[in-house]
Amino acid sequence: MLYNLLSFNSDKSIIGNNHIYIDLMIEFAQKDVNTIFSNFGDLQINVIRHGFSDCIKNRNCPYLHVHWIDPIISDVSNNKHYGSIPIWLIKLQLKSLQLISIFHTWKYDKDITDFFDPTKEDDIIKLLTSNPIVMKEINQAYLKNNLFEIENIKKIFLERFNHLKKKFSGDEDMGIYSILRSVMDFYTIARIIKLEMKNVIFYGGFSHSEYISYFLNKYDKFDLIRQEQGICYDKSMDTILVYEIKDGNIEVRQ
Integer Cα distance of 201 and 172 in angstroms = 32
| Residues near 79 by beta carbon (within 8 Å), at least 6 away in sequence | none
Spatial contact of 184 and 27, defined as CB atoms under 8 Å apart: yes
- Those residues whose C-beta lies under 8 Å from the C-beta of residue 50, and which sit 6 or more positions away, are 36, 37, 40
What value does the mean pLDDT take over residues 3-11? Answer: 88
Express each pLDDT in 93-117 by its tens digit: 888 877 666 788 899 999 999 999 9
For range 116-123, the mean pLDDT: 96
Q: What is the mean pLDDT of residues 212-240?
A: 80
CB atoms within 10 A of CB 83: 11
Contact 72, 183 (CB under 8 A): yes
Of the pLDDT bands very low, low, confident and very high (cuts 50, 70, 90), residue 79 is: low
Q: What pLDDT was estimated at residue 238?
A: 67
Q: How far apart are CA 134 and CA 128, in angstroms?
A: 7
Query: For the chain, how many residues are written?
Result: 254
- Angle separating helix axes 172-194 and 132-142, nearest 10 degrees: 40
pLDDT at 31: 79
CB within 8 Å of 85: residues ≥ 6 apart:
74, 93, 130, 131, 132, 133
Q: Is 252 exposed, middle or buried (0-12, 13-18, 19+ CB in 10 A)?
A: middle
Min mean pLDDT across 10-14, 32-36, 97-101, 149-153 is at 97-101
Query: Residues 52-65, buried b or exposed e (16+ Cβ, 10 A)?
Result: bbebbeeeebeebb
Rounded to whole angstroms, how far apart are CA atoms 56 and 67?
6
Parallel/antiparallel/unpaired status of strands 249-252 and 200-203: unpaired
| Whole-number Å distance between alpha carbons of 156 and 53 | 32
**Residue 40: pLDDT above 70?**
no
The answer to whether 100 and 178 have CB atoms below 8 angstroms apart is no
Helix (H) or strand (E) holding 167: helix 150-167
Higher pLDDT, residue 34 or 191: 191
Nearest to 70 by CA among 43, 34, 121, 31: 31
